[in-house]
């Protein structure tokens, strides 16, 4: 497993993390068992970054993560998110309390603002975040779906903490962050946490250079994860409920492509390696 520093912190997190959107949706014992096993397999393989949110399955996702890590809490780095309607001071504190309870932990490693909310002052939100850090309930502060301007505003609102990360959609199928957010994160040493890195499982094989999968014996999902994490600033959080998917994703960085091979993705399948 490859590990990277989270933002400017000294924290090492796995470049490939685990997403948990839609886990807990059906809430059956079988689904829960499968999800818990997949997450624990990921940890066994060296993945320590787990991403969830209070919004996912109305809190069931956080409960399943809590169940999966209850005896291995120190081995994992839990990132969760506060919903945009809960960004006023008191609501944010109460959201954090709810997440801590569902996760069965006394601290959240990375607490992220899930989406910006223009009706609530970012200063109030970041003051509440810093209060949680002072109380030891949160270790690092992040945002999600923030533009460059919104990220700058969040950073300016922080007085004694650095903003660690911005979680945004990034994959071969959606490269829009390359225009501004990715270069900004690289320059400012903020981790870009790439969500939906597998395009929700609809892997666009037309975008792979011919021969690369064969040369490195890699699956389309592995190519996508390897490609999306080529910048040092990026961490990716694919969601995998199936153990075989989890294992495939965990081994997607066993080799790194050459610069020209990464570049060849721009030309799609017609590019030969
Ligand atoms: N901040 C935000 O606003 C936001 C928005 C969306 C997502 N997220 C986060 O990002 C995470 C990932 O995004 P996502 O869940 O939207 O989509 P994703 O990770 O791009 O795709 C998940 C889908 O890909 C499949 N998959 C996983 N590994 C595979 C493999 N090796 N080969 C083929 N298919 C594979 C999964 O199947 P199985 O589950 O059956 O294994 C699942 O159907 C979320 O779970 C969530 O934590 C954040």
- Residue 107 located in a structural domain: yes
Q: Where is average pLDDT lowest: 20-29, 58-67, 202-211?
A: 202-211
- Residue 273 located in a structural domain: no
Q: How many domains would you assign to the chain?
A: 1
Maximal C-alpha separation, the chain: 57
Q: State in Å, rounded, how far the first CA of the chain is from the last one.
A: 26
The model carries a pTM of 0.96
Q: What confidence tens digit (pLDDT) does each residue in 87-128 have?
A: 999 999 999 999 999 999 999 999 999 999 999 999 999 999
| Ligand 1 atom nearest residue 171's Cα | 20
Q: What confidence tens digit (pLDDT) does each residue in 148-173 have?
A: 999 999 999 999 999 999 999 999 98
Beta strands in the chain (DSSP E): 3-5, 12-14, 49-51, 77-82, 108-113, 138-144, 163-169, 191-195, 234-236
| Ligand 1 atom nearest residue 238's Cα | 19
Residue with the smallest CA separation from ligand 1 atom 36 is 240
The residue segments making up the domain with residue 10 are 3-207+223-256
CATH of the domain at 29: 3.20.20.100
- Residue 147 located in a structural domain: yes
- Residue 269 located in a structural domain: no
How far is it, in rounded angstroms, from Cα 88 to Cα 65?
26
Residue with the smallest CA separation from ligand 1 atom 4 is 195
How far is it, in rounded angstroms, from Cα 249 to Cα 49?
13
- Residue 215 located in a structural domain: no
Q: For a substitution probing ligand 1, which of 23, 235, 238 has the most ligand atoms within 8 Å of its CB?
A: 238
How far is it, in rounded angstroms, from Cα 233 to Cα 184?
10
- Residue 43 located in a structural domain: yes
pLDDT classification of 271: cutoffs 50, 70, 90: low
- Residue 200 Cα to ligand 1 middle (Å): 5
- Residue 217 located in a structural domain: no
How far is it, in rounded angstroms, from Cα 222 to Cα 219?
5
- Residue 197 Cα to ligand 1 middle (Å): 7
What is the set of active-site residues? Answer: 56
- Residue 168 located in a structural domain: yes
Over the chain, what is the mean pLDDT? 94
Both tokens of residue 198?
């597998």
């Amino acid at each position: 497993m490859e590990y990277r520093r989270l933002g400017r912190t000294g924290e090492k997190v796995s470049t490939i993390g685990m997403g948990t959107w839609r886990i807990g949706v059906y809430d059956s014992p079988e689904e829960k068992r499968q999800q818990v096993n997949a997450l624990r397999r990921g940890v066994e393989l060296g993945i320590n970054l787990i991403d969830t949110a209070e919004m996912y399955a109305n809190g069931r996702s956080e409960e399943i993560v809590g169940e999966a890590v209850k005896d291995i809490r120190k081995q994992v780095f839990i990132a969760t998110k506060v919903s945009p309607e809960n960004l006023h001071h008191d609501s944010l504190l109460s959201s954090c309390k709810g997440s801590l309870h569902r996760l069965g932990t006394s601290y959240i490693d990375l607490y992220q603002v899930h989406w910006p909310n223009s009706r609530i002052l970012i200063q109030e939100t970041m003051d509440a975040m810093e209060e949680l850090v002072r109380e030891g309930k949160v270790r690092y502060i992040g945002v999600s779906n923030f533009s460059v301007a919104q990220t700058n505003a969040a950073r300016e609102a922080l007085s004694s903490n650095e903003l660690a990360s911005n979680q945004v959609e990034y994959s071969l199928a959606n490269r829009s962050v390359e225009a501004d957010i990715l270069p900004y994160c690289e320059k400012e040493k903020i981790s870009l946490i790439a969500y939906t890195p597998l395009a929700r499982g609809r892997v666009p094989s037309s975008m792979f250079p011919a021969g690369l999968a064969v040369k490195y014996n890699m699956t389309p999902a592995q190519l996508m994860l390897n490609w999306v994490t080529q910048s040092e600033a990026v961490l990716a959080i694919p969601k995998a409920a199936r153990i075989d998917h989890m294992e495939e994703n965990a081994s997607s960085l066993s080799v790194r492509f050459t610069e020209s091979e990464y570049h060849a993705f721009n030309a799609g399948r017609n590019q030969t390696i």
